[in-house]
Amino acid sequence: MEEIFPFAESNELSNDIEDLKNPIPFTLVNNIPMDGTNFIAPYVAVPESVAIEAIKFANLNNEDCLVDLGCGDGRILYLAHQEVSGLKSFGVELDPYLAMFASNKVKNLNCIIIEKNMFEVNLLELKATCLILYLLPLGLEKLKSNLKEWFEKENTSNFKRIVTINYKIPDCEHEFEKCVISLSNSYNLFSYQNIIGNTH
């Protein structure tokens, strides 16, 4: 039997977006399978209460530049700006509908949404200091060499860290871990402060 992927909670997303020219473009939200595409994770939004815990866990301050690779509707970025004034952030999203939705959500904030494949984004150029990632292990594995390069090169005086939601970066040691309960589901948060020489 053909495997059906757990697709988007698309009923949470409105079509009523200012500036949205094509309400339902070719998108994961519209139940297009990921096979043969650059998508490494389906759109599943993190509950807002868990996003807030992940933001606190990341220990952000006003000198940070937060990046969400696969930012979905932009909720982590939006909530991070509510928690930390003076924050700068970027969201990267391949799905054009979600990228448009996220742009609209963060439009009055110091946040830029980039509609792009995350593997083509240079975290050093963005001067990222913190990443919050809600991706599947396969995607995290694929991202590992980009993450290592980012950790290795000096491009900011701020210390760098990654927080992952629910899934660990395969074969990497995390420094801290926290469990968060939301509507009787438990979510694990993992914090990495370096992954150089940390792989088995």
Ligand X SMILES: C[S@@+](CC[C@H](N)C(=O)[O-])C[C@H]1O[C@@H](n2cnc3c(N)ncnc32)[C@H](O)[C@@H]1O
Q: Is 117 exposed, middle or buried (0-12, 13-18, 19+ CB in 10 A)?
A: middle
Looking at 30, 38, 110, 145, which residue binds ligand X (CB under 6 A)? 38
CB of 90 to ligand X, least distance (A): 12
Query: Residue 42 or 160: which CB sits closer to ligand X?
Result: 42
Query: Residue 46 or 180: which CB sits closer to ligand X?
Result: 46
Between the CA of residue 127 and those of 76, 89, 101, 124, 181, what are the distances in Å?
18, 10, 24, 5, 32
The C-alpha torsion from 78 through 149 and 143 to 51, rounded to 10°, is -20
Stretch that binds ligand X, among 10-18, 35-43, 148-156, 187-195 (CB under 6 A): 35-43
Stretch that binds ligand X, among 66-74, 104-112, 122-130, 168-176 (CB under 6 A): 66-74
Instruction: For residue 57, give the 3-state DSSP assignment.
Output: helix
Separation between Cα atoms, residue 198 and residue 107, nearest integer Å: 38
Query: Residue 113 or 195: which CB sits closer to ligand X?
Result: 113
Structure tokens at 112: 């830029």
Q: In the block, which residue shows the tokens 């932009």?
A: 74
Binding string, 67-106, against ligand X, x = CB under 6 A?
-x-xxx--xx---------------xxxx--x--------
Is there binding between residue 53 and ligand X (CB under 6 A)?
Answer: no
User: Could you list the residues that contact ligand X (CB under 6 A)?
Assistant: 28, 38-41, 43-46, 68, 70-72, 75-76, 92-95, 98, 117-118, 134-135
